[in-house]
Structure 1
Amino acid sequence: MTAITQPPAPTTTEKMRGLPWSLAANAANSVFAQFTFFGSVFVLFLSELSISNTQIGFLLSLFPFMGLVALFIAPTVARFGYKRTYITFWGLRKLVTALLLLVPWVLSQFGQEAALLFITVVTAGFGLCRAVAETGYYPWIQEFVPASIRGKYSANNNVISSVASMGAVAVASYVLGLSLGLNRFTLLFAVGVAFGLVSVWMFSRVPGGAAIKDSSAGSGSYRDLWSAAKDRNLLLYLAGIALLTYGSGPLYSFMPIFMKNQIGLTESGVVSLQTAALVGGLVSAFLLGWSADRYGSMPVMVSGVAMKILLPFGWLLMPRNSEASLYVALIIAFVQGVAGIAWAVGSGRLLFVTVVPSERKSEYMAVYYAAVGIIGGSSQLIGGSLLDIFAGIQGQFMFITIDPFTPLMIAGVILPLLSMLIFRRVRADSPVSVGEFAGMFVQGNPVFALERMVRYYHARDERSAVVLTEKMGQAKSPLTVDELVEALDDPRFNVRLEAIISIARMKPHPRLTEALVNVLHGTELALSAMAGWALGRMGDEAAIPQLREGLDSSYRSIRGQCARALGTLGDQEVIPLLHQRLQTETDKGLRMAYAAALGNLHATEAIDTLFNLLGQTENEGARLEVSLSLARMIGEEHHFIRLLRQTRSDTGTAVARELTQLRNRLSRSVSQQTRSTLSGCADAFAKDALNDGVSTLIQMIRALPPSAYYDDLSLKLLHRCADGMETYKTERMEYLILALHVLHTGVRG
């Protein structure tokens, strides 16, 4: 490989200082582009001269075809200097563009054929200067834009350039509406050249792009080009671009003619579509740039391709020669703008971050630029030729109008679909898949989440940060994952604590689980126990191994929360260990935690142990929790809770109503004696004779025949409840409530 001496790169401070100049330069260049070769103005100018679609396609193909020179000049450009090459030829192309001002004179003096030849020469000269300049620009921009903010830079660049382009399009739309003939176009060309020259001066203020000293023969660089051209990842990337370009490039280039001739829009209306597209790009640029930096280039890029696939359907189905045509076209153009920005931000970032190695940027970018030139140029030629070939097509298929653009529409769907399959094989720059990325914007409340994220970074004090951290959790959107993880490292304790609580509200996510596990095994004990609870609350079974480790922590609070979390997560394998520890543990808090976990796990083998714990527990709240654990063994937890609430306000009435309902359910399946016993028991409770009612209920439970109305599990629970009621009567109401719950839930059929 060629031995080269790399010049010292600009410092990050120098790069950041130069970025505003590059943004301003791109904005000025956007005005130049809209007024000259790259907006609807140029295509409408050619159409005004009655140039055929094939000829227009040929002229448009000259721009990308000139990119082939990159293969031959890349080593020279590297030695001459990327920045120097770009500034020189970027300025020359503005002067070449100024020659378009002479087209009306050439047309009047020498005729249309001479004018077409003159435009061809000017276009070729412009394309050549552009190709040489951009051969230097791509390696240069990879140098002066820090990789960590490339997505943000792209977003800012698109926003600023879009605003400038919108102003330019508005002016162009107004000027084209004037009755000035070809002078409408030459006026715009002149103003565009002026803005282009200002752009060149601004770019001169951007650092980097110094010449590379090559210590070997020039032929070595061409060997490097061949080596780059064989890179599988680059070839896959270019193959995807080829399919997408052949599918959408010609369609987009000739869209002004489609809108004018087929849809029936005026020239001013056609130009206004660019404004809608620019607005679409403007409103989505920041979000897409942020997304690319945060979640990777691939999801953003493929999302753009997916939106591009939908566009032809809109164009095929839109109304024609109608008052609504313009409004529908504006909506589609808006979506086109969003799709274009998503594609530009994602593909550009992927190119610079993953596809092109920074140490070999010269040869890789030369191959890329040349390949894109061939692809883009041939696509324009094919597109223009197809339009002329199918010029006579017209008809109707169901509700779809068939015209010369219909074959391009079909290609605009099929080829981008194939490109998505190719792009899936390109090496990505993040583990986030396209499906995961799309899911982030449909899960939870993404708008609420984004708004809270912005406010979170501007929180002025701890209270505000805590509130906003809470609200990010309430959004339940994966978009807030990074912020919640970051909040766990906040120096303010209450923010860290709130972050754990907020994460517990989220759906399972690998990064959140990993972050909570780190807190669980950390040294901040007050938060470690909370992290154990949050892991159970979030419901990610991937945390089970770490929670099992937490059972052996030297701190009881952590052991207790880990046990509860394992119960919540349904870890059946831990039942024997928890049961054994419940039998031997002396700490009351841990015994309650083990009991709660065993109840959640429906560990029926622990029923006797839980009843023993219930009898030994003095605290009423703790007894209710143990009772709930026993109630969970048979299911319908909500019924137990409802019954508990009712008995707190009016015990006798609530129990009487429950027994009456039970008697009605069993009326056809139990003996008359059992029904009478139930009625007598209900009457006793209705009269607030609680002790008499309990005694009658105990007698009924003892009299229940095995397996007649209740299975063995239910009978075991009922008899243990009867034992408790005999001992404590109405002193401990949890036995009565649990018995009623089992009678209601466990009854057969």
Structure 2
Amino acid sequence: MIFTPVKKLSPKQLNLAMKLNILTGCLATVWGIVCSPQPLFNVFVVTHLGASSSTLGLLVALLQLSGIFQLASIFIYGYARRRKPFFIAAHLIHRLLTLAIAAAAFIAAASGNTGWGIRAIMIAVPLSWIFMNASAAGWWSWVADLFPENIRGAFFLRRSAIINIINVIWFFLASMVLDLFKGPYTFWIYVGIFSIGAFSGIVDIIINLFIPEPEPAENEIFNPLDALEPLKNKNFIQFSIAVGLAIFSINLISPFQSPFIVDPNGVAAPNTWLGIMFVISQLTWVVTAPFWGTIMDKWGRKPVVVLGCFFVISWTGYFFLNHRTYVYLLPLISIAGGLLAPAFWEGVNQMMLSLAPSKNRIAYVAWYMTLVGLVSSGGSLLGGTLLDAFAAFELSFINLSFSGFHIVLLGSMLMVIFSAWIISRVREGRERDMGFVIGRVANPGILKTYACMDDLDTACDPDRTEQALRSIEAETGDLALDEIIARLDDPYLEIREEAARALGRIRSAYAVEPLLHRLGDSQTHFQIAVARALGKIRDRRAVGPLIECLTNTTSEALQEACIQALGDIGGDEAAVAVAEFYRKAPSDRLRATAADAASRLGLFEASSELLPRLISGTSSSIRRQYAIALGNLFGPPGDFYPFVSGSESAHADRISRLFHQLEWKIRSTNFKFHKTPITKLSKTKIQNRIDTIREVREHLDAGQDYEALRKITSFAQDILAEILGEAVESRQFQELAFRIDIHFGSFVWFLEEVQTYLAETVKHSGNQIETLRLLTLLIVFFLESNWN
């Protein structure tokens, strides 16, 4: 029978399954940390039982090779009605057989016979792993059906964090006790440690009886040929082999790192330091694992797995490790490894489940574990053989000493990084680009976003939710995209508005459809926030709905938001709508908004009235808005805004920088449209230009706005004369300027209009003082923007 997609559990059943799964995981780690090839087990076998590195390598290789029995699970579960009974039965045998490890310690403690213990372990442990591998695929298929994919990564990495707290406590206590009771008591301590581990492993399996197993939605007759289906999936096979190669590479040196650290002829660190390292790395794991789980669920498993492969970079510290430096370096190695290691070790299993289709998943899981086991099996064996072969190798450089261990270590690191490259070539189907993920993860702001996610998802206090939305930053907000989109339907209008604003800051294309769906919301204020957010995202899909909203509403505030959004998005359809609205705008405020949008779209025809309307503006805000629209014609859209906004001191500081930048450019570069190279201009001419700009600035500072505008206008005319030559005296010079560049043509038109205004105006009359200042700044802004 093939297990097809299952009926979902109720929330109560799902909650129970999660709690029990975490409990079994905690008990399993008490077993695994001492009854499998981990640091304490490796030290026991090599240092205390006296096995060689090759023997330990052979044992690990046998355990990896036992993965071939995963293939048996395809047929066992294929013909079974349920997965749980066989999994529990086989895993109970698996855990019972590991009592042989405790028996080996007992015989050594009672009689001093260590040879019997090595033989018992070499037989019982690989045999126990055969039962484990023959049933493990059922557990993975079972939990994949239990926990939905959209929460699976976060749950398993959170589970991993809790499990590793138990890891820390148990490993540290075990290693500390081993250091406290050395000598004749050592083997008896190992008897107790291994007995506790085996007992915990047995209880772990028994508790699985109480975890619900969902019934399949439908049953299909098992076809033995389905067992070969995964082999036809090249993408899945490539991933499985790449993971196997990565683990092969890691196992070249990983099993031998602990013995190297405590070896009296090597680093000579106490056993307690293995515990300290474990505590540090696992606590780091506890902190980072939930974060990586969230990244997996949001942006895909593959980028996380590839990043996780680089945990081996932490092993660089081993090249500088000796009996004098281990106190400093071992903690650093542990922290660096703990940051990235969960991304790899937890990520590969989650990626495997993502690549395995729900139908016939057991076959995929079985082949994955088989291929990983077969490919990785030789790593520890080769590593142990190489270490024995290079046992006599020694090299000293400055105050550093290198041995065969370091040769194997370097080879291991390079091979893991190569494996990461192969994994990066696998197609997961839903992952984000590697550059995108690396850029986001490397941004410290992502921690702030991650911290806000819990409030966005579960907070009952509206104020906390609103504050969390305001804290979302553009560069890292993608991480909380789903939680923010969910808040678009919040009962509180303020929260819906903040959610729309946050999506506008993030500018993700994934937010366009949810925002368009809410653009027709009856709450006008919410529609305004949605329209502005769509404008910031600048996706052309929003143009049609924004035009429809603009046409159907009578709210000036909403019309203003739609026009601004259309100006931000651009395109022919948006340009036509903006130009039409500009001609029919019912108020000065909306006409100014439409003019700003038109200028950003480069619509000179719709912007030809900007200067007259600036001059005749009845309020400071209207005049400044028209000035901003003109600035959009003269330089990068939006860049003139800082010179007419903010506090008086900030405003003055920005203007000062504008003048300084123009002076610097005049001294070292050419005007954009000027054909004469700067090198051919005389120093006197350049200095005269700089002196003129300084005079303009002095007039502005002294409140002599009329003189400032007259001076800068004359300066600009001289520049135009140099560029256009005799054409300046003809009536066609504006047309010529527009042919050169639309921004240049707009400025020539503007300058002619300003000359007319200067001839007709009085130096100090009413609103003209601010108008004169704005016109002066616009000319300086154009010159600075185009002097390059």
- TM-score (normalised: structure 1): 0.82
Alignment partner, residue 531 of structure 1: 530
* Residue aligning to 2:283: 279
Distance in 2 (CA, whole Å) between partners of 1:577 and 1:214 is 57
Task: Identify which range, 443-452 or 153-162, moves more after superposition.
Answer: 443-452
Kindly indicate whether the alpha-carbon contact (under 8 Å) linking 2:69 and 2:134 is maintained by their aligned counterparts in 1.
yes
Distance change in 2, residues 1:585/1:209 (3 Å): closer
1:594 corresponding residue in structure 2: 594
- Which residue of structure 2 aligns with residue 19 of structure 1? 18
- Inter-CA distance 75–167: structure 2 relative to 1 (3 Å threshold): same
Corresponding residue for 1:100?
A: 101
1:725 aligns with 2:761: yes
Structure 1's 164 and 429: CA in aligned 2 closer, same or farther, altered over 3 A?
farther
CA separation of 1:85/1:706 partners in 2, compared to 1, >3 Å: closer, same or farther? closer
Per the alignment, do residues 209 and 328 of structure 1 end up closer, same or farther by CA in structure 2, a change over 3 Å counting? Answer: farther
279-288 vs 35-44, which deviates more?
Answer: 35-44
SS of the residue corresponding to residue 396 of structure 1 reads strand
Q: Deviations over 1:489-548 (max 9, x none)?
A: 2221111122233444x2532234554444446554433333333444x36465784587
Partner in structure 2 of residue 715 of structure 1: 751
Partner of 1:435: 435
Q: Distance in 1 between matches of 2:208 and 2:561?
A: 60
Q: Which residue of 1 aligns with 2:412?
A: 412
* Counterpart Cα distance in 1 of 2:342 and 2:712: 76
Partners of 1:683 and 1:6 lie apart in 2 by 81
Structure 2 SS opposite 1:488: helix
Partner of 1:30: 29
Q: Counterpart in 1 of 2:40?
A: 41
* Contact 2:281–2:335 (CA under 8 A) maintained in structure 1: yes
Contact 2:387 2:405 in 1 (8 A): yes
| 2:83 is aligned with 1:82 | yes
Q: Does 1:314 align with 2:314?
A: no
1:384, 1:740 → 2: CA distance? 79
CA contact (8 A) 1:497 1:527 kept: yes
1:268 maps onto 2:272 in alignment? yes
CA shift, 1:325, in A, is 0.5
| Farther off after superposition, 562-571 or 131-140 | 562-571
Distance change (3 Å), C-alpha of 1:166 and 1:587: same
1:331 aligns with 332
Is the 2:3–2:360 Cα contact (8 Å) retained in structure 1? Answer: no
Q: How does 1:147-296 map to 2 (within 5 A)?
A: 147-177=149-179, 178-179=181-182, 180-208=185-213, 220-221=223-224, 223-261=225-263, 262-296=266-300
1:228 Cα deviation (Å)? 2.5
* Distance in 1 of aligned mates of 2:96 and 2:749: 93
Q: What letter corresponds to residue 402 of structure 1 in structure 2?
A: F
2:493/2:526 contact within 8 Å kept = no
- TM-fit CA distance, 1:173: 0.9
Q: In the TM superposition, what is the alpha-carbon distance from 1:642 to its structure 2 partner?
A: 8.3
Provide the C-alpha distance between the structure 2 equivalents of 1:4 and 1:624, rounded to a whole number of angstroms.
71
The 5 A counterparts of 1:59-138 are: 59-80=59-80, 81-103=82-104, 113-138=115-140
The aligned runs of 1:362-511 (5 Å cut-off) are 362-396=362-396, 401-443=401-443, 445-473=445-473, 477-504=477-504, 506-511=505-510
Shift of residue 611, structure 1, vs aligned partner: 3.5
In the TM superposition, what is the alpha-carbon distance from 1:448 to its structure 2 partner? 2.5
Task: Give the distance between the partners of 2:114 and 2:177, measured in 1 at CA.
Answer: 24
Indicate conservation of the 8 Å contact 2:563/2:594, yes or no: yes
* Distance in 2 of aligned mates of 1:457 and 1:251: 43
1:48-63 to 2 correspondences below 5 Å: 48-63=48-63
Q: Does 1:641 align with 2:644?
A: yes
| Residue number in structure 1 paired with 2:553 | 555
Question: For residues 361 and 109 of structure 1, do their structure 2 counterparts lie closer, same or farther at Cα, with a shift above 3 Å needed?
Answer: same
CA 1:37–1:431: 2 relative to 1, 3 Å: closer
The 3-state SS of whatever aligns with 1:264 is: coil
The CA distance in 1 between the partners of 2:282 and 2:68, in whole Å, is 30
Offset of residue 241 of structure 1: 0.9
Contact 2:249/2:416 (<8 A) preserved: yes
Correspondence list, 1:728-747, <5 A: 729-730=765-766, 732-741=768-777
Q: Secondary structure at the match of 1:182?
A: helix
Distance 1:271 1:360 in 2: 42
Q: Give the SS at the match of 2:472.
A: helix
Q: Which moved more, 1:293-302 or 1:242-251?
A: 293-302
TM-score (normalizing by structure 2): 0.79
Counterparts in 2 of 1:511 and 1:366: CA distance versus 1, 3 Å: closer
Greater displacement, 608-617 / 51-60: 608-617
Q: CA deviation at 1:464?
A: 3.8
**Which blocks of at least 5 consecutive residues in structure 1 are unaligned?**
none
Q: CA deviation at 1:731?
A: 5.2
Q: Quote the Cα distance in structure 2 between the aligned partners of 1:417 and 1:425.
A: 13
The residue correspondences of 1:604-615 to structure 2 (distance < 5 A) are 605=605, 608-614=608-614
Alpha-carbon distance in structure 2 between the residues aligned to 1:486 and 1:253: 47
Write the letter of the residue equivalent to 1:11.
L
Taking only the aligned residue pairs, the percentage that are identical comes to 17
How many residue pairs match? The answer is: 714
* Distance (whole Å) between structure 2 residues aligned to residue 706 and residue 455 of structure 1: 56
Paired residue type of 2:256: F
Q: What is the Cα deviation at residue 608 of structure 1?
A: 4.4
> Contact between 1:299 and 1:432, CA under 8 Å: does it hold in 2?
yes
Distance 1:628 1:77 in 2: 71
- Residues 545, 394 of structure 1: alpha-carbon distance in 2 compared, 3 angstrom cutoff: farther
Matched residues in 1 for 2:297 and 2:433: separation? 14
Name the CA shift for 1:533/1:272 in 2 (closer, same or farther; >3 Å): closer
- Shift in Å, 1:743: 6.4
Deviation for aligned residue 1:46: 1.1
Q: Where in structure 2 are there 5+ consecutive unaligned residues?
A: 668-683, 722-747
Q: Deviations over 1:167-225 (max 9, x none)?
A: 21122112211121322212211222222222122122112288999997x8x42x322
The separation in 1 between residues aligned to 2:107 and 2:715, in whole angstroms, is: 112
User: Structure 1 CA distance, aligned partners of 2:713 and 2:387?
Assistant: 92
| Distance in 2 of aligned mates of 1:640 and 1:335 | 47
RMSD: 4.4
* Whole-angstrom CA distance in 1 between matches of 2:111 and 2:647: 101
Q: Is the 8 A contact 2:440 2:476 kept in 1?
A: no
Residues 582 and 591 of structure 1 are in contact (CA less than 8 Å); yes or no, is this contact kept in structure 2?
Answer: yes
Contact 2:395-2:402 at 8 Å conserved across structures: yes
Q: In 2, are the aligned partners of 1:34 and 1:169 still within 8 Å (CA)?
A: yes
Q: Which amino acid aligns with 2:247?
A: T
Matches of 2:603 and 2:388, distance apart in 1: 78
Change beyond 3 A, Cα 1:32–1:717? same
CA contact (8 A) 2:45 2:118 kept: no
Looking at structure 2, the residues matched to 434 and 583 of structure 1 have their Cα atoms a distance apart, in angstroms, of 47
CA contact (8 A) 1:702 1:719 kept: no
**Contact preservation (8 Å) 1:249, 1:379:** yes
Distance 1:548 1:499, change over 3 A: closer
